[in-house]
Amino acid sequence: MHKTRPIARFVRFTACLALAACSLASLTGCLPNRVVIDLAPGDGSLAETQVLIDPGAGRSAPKIAQIDLQGLISHAPSPGLLSGRSNAVDSIVTRLRKAEDDPMVRAVILRINSPGGTVAASETIYSEIRGFRERSGKPVIVSMGEVAASGGYYIALAADHIIAQPTSITGSIGVIVQTFNFSRGMDRIGISGRAVVSRENKAIANPFETPVEEHYRILQHLTDQFYEQFRTLVADRRPQIRNGSASLDTITDGRVFTGAEGVQLGVVDETGSLRDAFERAKALVNLDRARLVKYHAQGVTVGSPYATTLDHHPTVMRNASGGGITLAPVRVDLPGGTGLPGFGGEPSESGFYYLWIAPTP
């Protein structure tokens, strides 16, 4: 109960801020009878901002497109109040389509900062990147940020070249499905649960009833299938692992390693920065000079390649004449499991994950 109080206070503060803006407008005599909160100004299309340019490269120079993959990888909408309804899969596919349709874009840098996500979403993005590569012929270079683990690494396998910072966390090759069981605790306070099901395996791993080992054997069977798919993909896409210092069994046992270790193990091609990825992309398409452009939602200010470009827009309070007051985007992660593992919470969706759950202090 106490955990919700700071969030509730923040929501009230945000509402008061909006009301204060309205009050300020009314004092100036410009507030209409009706105010519309427009969460998506513009037509919703992607904008692009030039974030790096080589000396001597003009505005007509070829482009390298940077696409960011951030946070939990899922088909579910991003959590939070007034945060927009985009999801990781839609975000990547939309940007790949923009890069594919632009003849000035010669290559793509996929900047990954993610501990992974659901099995299906990770697989979908991997397939979309491979399809983009086959249709367009434009190479894809992965640049790993703080973390590109589990599903983040699964997606990195779609690239032509993988660059990690020496301190990046990657690996965590494997599958997890988290279950809970509250039946013993419920018994202690005189509460019992019983689901009415069509067959014995319908309410699989029901957290309110005594655990059934057959249910966990079924879940283990599915987990083993998803793991084998991941492991096979690693072996197919990273044949250099066979010449590394560790076996495929060791590399795919779920452990994590740094970007520097990843080079030694063969799971990463080289260590370097985002600027190094830019240089590698130019080399792959034989460019001496180019521009690095970053895709983002309209209305989002982008000052460098490292800017966070979430798929939601500034909030604008518009009056009848089209004018308005622009407020910063509001994002509130509500209680109930809407956070990010290793980043202050747990996943909001149940299911099977290619996911690294970072230890918390």
Residues acting as catalytic residues: 150, 202
- Which pLDDT score, from 0 to 100, does residue 331 have? 37
| 125-144 tens-digit pLDDT | 999 999 999 999 999 999 99
By DSSP bridging, strand 315-318 and strand 324-327 are antiparallel
Supply the pTM of this predicted model.
0.79
Tell me what percent of the chain is helix, strand and coil, each rounded to the nearest 5.
Answer: 35, 20, 45
- Which pLDDT score, from 0 to 100, does residue 52 have? 95
- Which pLDDT score, from 0 to 100, does residue 117 have? 95
Burial 50-76, CB ≥16 within 10 A → b, else e = ebbbeeebeeebbbbbbbbbbbbbbeb
- Which pLDDT score, from 0 to 100, does residue 192 have? 87
Domains of the chain with CATH codes: 32-355 (3.90.226.10)
- Which pLDDT score, from 0 to 100, does residue 300 have? 83
- Which pLDDT score, from 0 to 100, does residue 28 have? 47
Tokens 């009230």 -> residue: 12
Question: Which residues of the chain are under the pLDDT cut of 50?
Answer: 1, 3-4, 7, 11, 22, 25-28, 30-41, 80-83, 313-346
Please choose, from the candidates 249, 247, 267, 248, the residue with its C-alpha nearest in 3D space to the C-alpha of residue 257. Answer: 267
- Which pLDDT score, from 0 to 100, does residue 40 have? 46
Tokens 């798919």 -> residue: 229
- Which pLDDT score, from 0 to 100, does residue 310 have? 62
Please choose, from the candidates 280, 278, 256, 282, the residue with its C-alpha nearest in 3D space to the C-alpha of residue 267. Answer: 256
